[in-house]
Amino acid sequence: MVTQTPVVTLPTAFSLAFAQLADRRVVWLLVKSILISVVLAVALAAVLVLALGWGLGALFGLNLDQPLPYVGEAMVVVLGLLGLVAVWLAWRIVAMAVLQFYADDVVALVESEHYPTLHPRDLPMGEQVRIALGGAMRALIVNLIALPFALLLFFTAIGPAVVFAVVNAVLLGRELQDMVWVRHAAPDALPPLGRITRFLLGLSVVGLLSVPFLNLLAPFLGAAAATHLVHRAALRQEAADA
């Protein structure tokens, strides 16, 4: 039972999330979500590359099946690089969409361990699908809008990484907060996390998504950390209002 609500910092929230990786229920959830995310990310990346290849071929009048010397080979190299970028972007979009679908399970695991007195509402399957698809579409659209700006900064080396990091940090921070808050909030309740906390939470997950192997765990870690941050902030607010 939660009898006090000490301040939980971002590092503490992620430490608690890491500690829960030892739970066998978490391991099974991770296996399911990672397998589904990998398959969908590769499929989405393939579609993006094929669409880009078709578009570039139509624009320059090139046939990649019978490439022109040098120009055709350069196009193949460009498409290969775009494929890597597409996988990188697709993983972020797909992994978070899959996590949204399993968000009930993630939040429930954290709450059963640390907040047993809380009673979240059960989201209908239709609402879970709607939230997951909505989050994926927002991420895809915003990243596509950011892509031209990132390409303009391509030769600055770190410019594209900064653009995508900032954009996705804002998106992820809000998504992670909402996936927890929607299960507890009254219709007129304000979200408990401030903009800076949400941004730092999202930026932390963006950083984890960029690290090999950790990127497989990043969605769960972000959701678990968000659960701690949201509940502690809400409980502190309730105590202050009492």
Question: Does 28 score more than 90 pLDDT?
Answer: no
Average pLDDT of every residue of the chain = 77
If you average pLDDT over residues 158-183, what whole number do you get?
86
43-52, 60-69, 127-136, 149-158, range with the lowest pLDDT: 60-69
Question: Does 145 score more than 80 pLDDT?
Answer: yes
Question: Does 65 score more than 60 pLDDT?
Answer: no
Residue type at 107? Answer: V
Indicate the pLDDT class of residue 164, thresholds 50, 70 and 90. Answer: confident
pLDDT given for residue 165 in this prediction: 86
d(CA 172, CA 199): 8
Contact in structure between 5 and 232 (CB atoms under 8 Å)? yes
**Residue 69 or 6, more confident:** 6
55-59, 147-151, 176-180, range with the lowest pLDDT: 55-59
**Residue 57 or 216, more confident:** 216
Contact in structure between 172 and 210 (CB atoms under 8 Å)? no
Reported as a single tens digit per residue, the pLDDT across 79-96 is 566 666 666 666 767 777
pTM comes to 0.74
60-69, 138-147, 158-167, 209-218, range with the lowest pLDDT: 60-69
d(CA 56, CA 218): 34
| Both structure tokens of 25 | 């229920």
